[in-house]
Amino acid sequence: MTAQAAELDPNLLAQSVQGELDRLRAAGLHRSRAVLEGRQGAHVVVRGRDFVSFASNDYLGLAADPRLIEAAREAASRYGVGAGASHLLHGHHALHEQLESALAETVGMARALVFSTGYMANLGVVTALCGRDDEVFADKLNHASLNDAMVLSRARFHRYPHGDLDALDRALGRARARTRKLILTDAVFSMDGDLAPLPELVRLCERHGAYLLLDDAHGFGVLGEHGAGTPSHFAVSSERVIYMGTLGKAAGVYGAFVASSAALIDYLVNRARTYVYTTATPPLLAAALLQSLAIIRGEGWRREHLQALIGDLKEGLRAARARLLPSPTAIQPYVLGSAGAALRAAEVLRAHGMIVPAIRPPTVPAGSARLRISLSAGHTLADVERLVSALRKL
Ligand SMILES: *Cc1c(COP(=O)(O)O)cnc(C)c1O
């Protein structure tokens, strides 16, 4: 057998991946999936048992809202289930059009384009805008999808230390003259919950002729006036910003969108490969999302309640042994250090009927394993008090 044939032997492959899995287990880094049996929300059922869940990104408690369910049901009976084709080959539905208009209006930008997922939106935008001759600048704590987008684009890239505007300024200053410069950042960092310094980033864009892809997966619906997201929170409006929001988190459904100028959106329709070469999302999702947007805009009490819960959690854990990172958002990381400590804490909470995911390397830097507490407007004050009391006893 040649060496190459040996490598392709299915038994050898199984052995080598098994070795890799054993190493992950030994390091406390192996992951598996809990199986939800009922609806997603602040309260979930796993193996027939009820839990309070602090694990979802359903920040406004909309994933199982009856109005969204009804909108999806109605659209399914009218229009069917599958879109049946890609957007450019007759899979683009009137409901997609309506949703794009409503999204553009919600975030106050000229146009919006709906993608299947946030992951695909990031890959699509960065690879459409940047190639070998361009330069990309990325915060070290960015979401994996932005990192993958940057690598896939083949652009030269620089990763700057988290939030380090001086380092970013220097890197931008060193960029070659005629390249396109694109900064990538999470607006709300997904594992730390802190905000990117948006006004300063826009100033750097202006100074260096750069553009900013702002990934607002955790800000859209939660922050800003009427849930319009992080730019609204900072009262920043700039043509330098390409906005990306996701629709599977606060919006409670599935998908993502990019909002920008009419020209850029038209360009993405033509050039974003993750838009062009994939089946359109089911129109029934667009119907549910239109309902979700109306609720996001109209029911400010959800954001107010969420803010009140965040305040209660912080207050309750003020004197606790471990610390919450300073986050003003629904993502409240409780840092315990080792992967083992985070796992043990998650197990104790689970025994008390609460689900809080332990986040371990490589998702977060070694030594900063944590419980990632995510709060939702679907939680009650009593839910949060129960969590606080269990965490204080850890
Ligand atoms: C969740 C997330 C994404 C991916 O969005 P999906 O729609 O789930 O693919 C992208 N960026 C950030 C910061 C995220 O948290």
pTM: 0.95
Regarding whether 277 and 188 lie in a shared domain, the answer is yes
Q: Which two tokens stand for residue 102?
A: 């409503």
Whether residue 11 lies inside any domain: the answer is: no
CATH code, domain with 259: 3.40.640.10
Whether residue 360 lies inside any domain: the answer is: yes
Q: Encode pLDDT of 110-156 as tens digits.
A: 999 999 999 999 999 999 999 999 999 999 999 999 999 999 999 99
- pLDDT above 90 (res 321): no
The tally of domains found in the chain comes to 2
Regarding whether 239 and 149 lie in a shared domain, the answer is yes
Query: How many whole angstroms from its chain centre is CA 116?
Result: 13
Regarding whether 228 and 86 lie in a shared domain, the answer is yes
Q: Which two tokens stand for residue 223?
A: 């922050």
Whether residue 244 lies inside any domain: the answer is: yes
Ligand 1 centre to CA of 349 (Å) is: 26
* DSSP 8-state assignment for residue 227: G
Ligand 1 centre to CA of 264 (Å) is: 21
Give the Cα separation of 112 and 116 in Å (integer).
Answer: 13
Ligand 1 centre to CA of 123 (Å) is: 11
Whether residue 10 lies inside any domain: the answer is: no
Give the Cα separation of 332 and 295 in Å (integer).
Answer: 24
Residue nearest to atom 6 of ligand 1 (CA): 118
Helix (H) or strand (E) holding 372: strand 369-374
Cα–Cα nearest to 118, from 57, 199, 161: 57
Residues with CB under 6 A from ligand 1: 117-119, 143, 145, 186, 190, 215, 217-218, 246, 248, 256
Residue ending a domain, choose from 265, 298, 331 = 298
Regarding whether 307 and 283 lie in a shared domain, the answer is no
Regarding whether 166 and 131 lie in a shared domain, the answer is yes
pLDDT of residue 9: 83
**Domain coverage including residue 146:** 66-298
Regarding whether 105 and 47 lie in a shared domain, the answer is no
Give the Cα separation of 298 and 60 in Å (integer).
Answer: 12
Residue nearest to atom 10 of ligand 1 (CA): 118
From 23-27, 94-98, 113-117, 302-306, the region with the lowest mean pLDDT: 23-27
Q: Encode pLDDT of 256-295 as tens digits.
A: 999 999 999 999 999 999 999 999 999 999 999 999 999 9
For a ligand 1 pocket test, name from 114, 115, 119, 222 the mutation site with the most ligand atoms within 8 angstroms of its C-beta: 119
Checking 156-165 for CB contacts under 8 A at 24+ apart, the result is 162/189, 163/139, 163/194, 163/196, 163/197, 165/197, 165/200, 165/201, 165/204
The 3-state DSSP class for residue 285 equals: helix
Regarding whether 89 and 104 lie in a shared domain, the answer is yes
Atom of ligand 1 nearest to the CA of 248: 7
Residue ending a domain, choose from 276, 298, 320 = 298
Q: Encode pLDDT of 2-16 as tens digits.
A: 556 556 788 899 999
The 3-state DSSP class for residue 214 equals: strand
Regarding whether 132 and 101 lie in a shared domain, the answer is yes
Regarding whether 190 and 257 lie in a shared domain, the answer is yes
Give the Cα separation of 70 and 379 in Å (integer).
Answer: 23
Ligand 1 centre to CA of 176 (Å) is: 31
Cα–Cα nearest to 220, from 242, 197, 250, 195: 250
Regarding whether 150 and 239 lie in a shared domain, the answer is yes
- pLDDT above 80 (res 1): no
Regarding whether 92 and 36 lie in a shared domain, the answer is no
Regarding whether 81 and 203 lie in a shared domain, the answer is yes
The one-letter code for the residue type at 158 is: H
Residue ending a domain, choose from 241, 272, 298 = 298
